[in-house]
Homo-oligomer: A and B are copies of this chain.
Amino acid sequence: MAAVNGRPLNATAASLLGLLLDGPMTGWDLVAAAQRRIGDFWTLTQSQVYRELATMAADGLVEVGPPGPRERKPHAITDRGREAFARWLDAEPAPDQVRIPLLLTLAFAPHLPPGRLAEVIAAQRAGHARRLEGYRAAREQLRAPGAPAVGAGRLATLEYGVRHEQAVLDWFDELPAILGLP
């Protein structure tokens, strides 16, 4: 019996519990579900998933069910897990955690060979434009008649993505003026 009261959940573990509220899943399933449902604003790797599952099983937050074909090991959330998830969800979300390598490059741009900065900016802008298109397409698909019913949260996060990427693109378009580039 490990950790009688369980350690405090980290956001990654809590998210896995949240996904398990829809029913038992294997680690493999969870990786896919996480990518689909929260992948746009939360990264997690397969390695992490198996580790968190093992930890949570030891803490009694999930239970391993009867193995299926191909070594499938379905994990189900327990009552303790539901409580832990509810406590986590009710807490104040931590502040955004943002690290933007491009802004580092920009901060040190005077040390960059001339012309290189413009290249870097163009490449980064293209990436953001691609992502904006992805978010837009996904949003339109969900808005279309006959679209699969989906939580409003999904629409809200897509809208976040669209607005953020649009703002970033607008910023890119102002950049030459700010930096005094040709």
Chain A contacts to B: CB under 8 angstroms: 11, 14-15, 18, 21, 37-38, 40-43, 85-86, 89-90, 92-113, 116, 120, 123-124, 127, 151-157, 159-160, 163-164, 166-168, 170-171, 174-175, 178-180
- 10 closest cross-chain pairs (CB), A and B: A167-B167, A93-B101, A18-B108, A41-B100, A94-B101, A41-B103, A93-B102, A97-B99, A106-B153, A163-B167
A108 touches B171 (CB 8 A): no
Task: List chain B residues, Cβ under 8 A from A154.
Answer: 107
The residue that A116 contacts in the complex, of B42, B90, B174, with Cβ under 8 A, is B90
Given A41-B100, A93-B120, A164-B167, A157-B106 contact (CB < 8 Å): yes
Taking the closest CB of chain B, its distance from the CB of A136, in whole angstroms, is 15
Of all chain B residues, which has the CB nearest A158? B178
- A interface majority secondary structure: helix
How far apart sit A97 and B93, CA to CA, in the bound complex (Å)? Answer: 18
Given A98-B98, A156-B179, A166-B167, A18-B89 contact (CB < 8 Å): no
- Copies per assembly: 2
B178 touches A152 (CB 8 A): yes
Task: List chain B residues, Cβ under 8 A from A113.
Answer: 90
List 5 extra interface pairs beyond A43-B97, A95-B127, A106-B153, CB under 8 A: A21-B108, A89-B105, A152-B179, A163-B168, A167-B167
Given A111-B18, A156-B106, A178-B155, A98-B97 contact (CB < 8 Å): yes
How far apart sit A178 and B143, CA to CA, in the bound complex (Å)? Answer: 12
A151 touches B110 (CB 8 A): yes
Given A18-B108, A111-B89, A120-B92, A103-B42 contact (CB < 8 Å): yes
